[in-house]
Homo-oligomer: A and B are copies of this chain.
C-alpha cells in the first residue's frame, strides 16, 4: 500500500500550483520527457498515441471536405522566406538556420520551416495556370521549428507536430468560405472528440498571423482560468499571391490573382485535453480520444482462472480499445496507474466476482463504481463511455460559463483579471492602443472578437470612446 500511495503523492494538487500539477501529470502519465536538445521534447507512446487519434479523426474530417495530403521539404531558402514582407518579419527572428551541408558551407542558408506558406506559394505559382486548376485544397502533417526561449510540454516547444492546410481559390468569397469551414471543422472536432467547448471568433489585427488578411481562432478555457488558442484559420486574400505571382486565367480569359487560406492545429491540443479535464489523480481522457478506453484489472490474479477471465473480458469488449494489466504490480498500484493515465473505464475482476458472474466498472471522471453482470459488460461499458464523453463536455462548458465574466468599466475589468480567472467579455473601440494598454496594465490579451456578438455597452471598456466590437479577453498560455 505504501507503494500505491507513492505514485499519487508525487502529484502536486492543482489548487496549490497548477503549473507544477501540469508538469507532474505530463511526467507521471508518461506522455513525454525532455530530450538532450534544449527545448525539444520526446513524445512517449502514451502521448504520441493521443496525437495519432487526433490525426486520424481530423484527417478523416479534412478529407470529407475535399482536402488532399502532400509533403513539402522541411527547408526554406532565406530568399524564399523573405518574399512576403509581413511574413518574414513575423518569423525570421525565431527560426533555426542550416548553414552547412555535409562538410561544406551553403551558399544560401536554409531555415527549418516554422510554417510553410512560402513553400506552398512557390509550388502553387507553377502548378496553377487556369481556373480549371482551382481550387487546390492541400494539407500536410509534419513538424515545425520555432526557436522559443521558454518552453512548456506540448504548449510551447522548439519543435512541435502539427498539420498545416494551404488552399488556393479563384475568388475572395470562396477563400473566406474555406477559412470559416476549417475553423468549424476544428471547433466541432474539439467539442465532439476532445470534449472541449470553444469560443469561435476573429483575432484583432494585433494578434493575427503574419501576412494574413484575417485570422480566425478557437479559444478554449483551461481549468485554471487561462485561455488556450487551440486552432487558427487564416484568410490571406491575394497578398501572398501577389508576392509570389500566383495567377490564373479565368473563364473570361483574364489573368487574375488567386486567393489563399491556411489553417492549423498542433500538439498543444494534447495540453488542452490535460488542462481542461485532468484532476488531482492525474489525466482524464475523453473516451473518443483515449488510446486505451478500458483497463481490466485482475484481482488476486495468481488464483486459477482469474487471468483467463480477464482476457476473456478483453475479447468480449472487442468494440473498445482494451488493455489487461497483467503486470505483477498490486491491484492498488494498477488502479492508481489507470487513474494517472486517464484511462476512462476500469473493470475489476476477482475470484468472488467470477463466482457471481459479475465485474466492477469504475468510471475515471466521477469515480463512480457499479457492479454488473458479465453478460451485460459490453453494453454497460459502451453506455458509460458515451455518457462520460457527453458529461465531460458539459462539465467543461459549465466551468467556462462560471469563469466568464462581464466588465463594462475599466475598474471592474482590472479586478476581474486580477481576481476572477477566466474569460472577460468587454467592449472595445477597435484601437490597438487600448489592447496595448490593457496588456501592459493587466497582462490580459484580446483572445478574439467572437462571432456571437453581444452589446454590453456602447463604449470601450478601456478608453470610453464608442465601441465597435465585443471582445473576449483573458490571460493566455
Interface residues of A (CB under 8 A from B): 33, 35-37, 40-45, 48-49, 51-52, 68-77, 80, 93-103, 109-110, 112, 119, 122-123, 126-127, 138, 142-143, 145, 147, 158-159, 161
Q: How far is the CB of A271 from chain B (nearest CB, A)?
A: 15
CB <8 Å contact, A101 and B96: yes
**If A36-B122, A123-B42 touch, does A73 touch B112 (CB 8 Å cutoff)?**
no
The answer for the CA separation of A126 and B42 in the assembled complex, in Å, is 13
Nearest-neighbor residue (CB-CB) of A100 within chain B:
B97
Nearest-neighbor residue (CB-CB) of A123 within chain B:
B42
Q: Which of B45, B74, B93 contacts A138 (CB 8 A)?
A: B45
Residues of B within 8 A of A75 (CB): 37, 40, 96, 159
Residues of B within 8 A of A36 (CB): 77, 80, 122
Residues of B within 8 A of A76 (CB): 37
A-B contact pairs, 17 of them (CB 8 A): A33-B127, A35-B122, A36-B77, A42-B71, A43-B70, A43-B71, A45-B70, A48-B69, A49-B69, A73-B159, A74-B143, A74-B159, A96-B102, A97-B100, A98-B112, A100-B109, A101-B147
Q: Which of B35, B52, B70, B73 contacts A72 (CB 8 A)?
A: B35
CB <8 Å contact, B102 and A99: no
Specify which of A37, A44, A142 lies most central, judged by the most chain B CB atoms within 10 Å of its CB: A37
**New contact pairs (12) apart from A48-B69, A74-B74, CB-CB < 8 Å:** A33-B123, A40-B74, A41-B73, A42-B71, A48-B70, A75-B96, A75-B159, A96-B102, A96-B110, A97-B101, A98-B99, A142-B143
Q: Which of B35, B126, B158 contacts A123 (CB 8 A)?
A: B35
CB <8 Å contact, A73 and B40: yes
The answer for the CA separation of A93 and B101 in the assembled complex, in Å, is 9
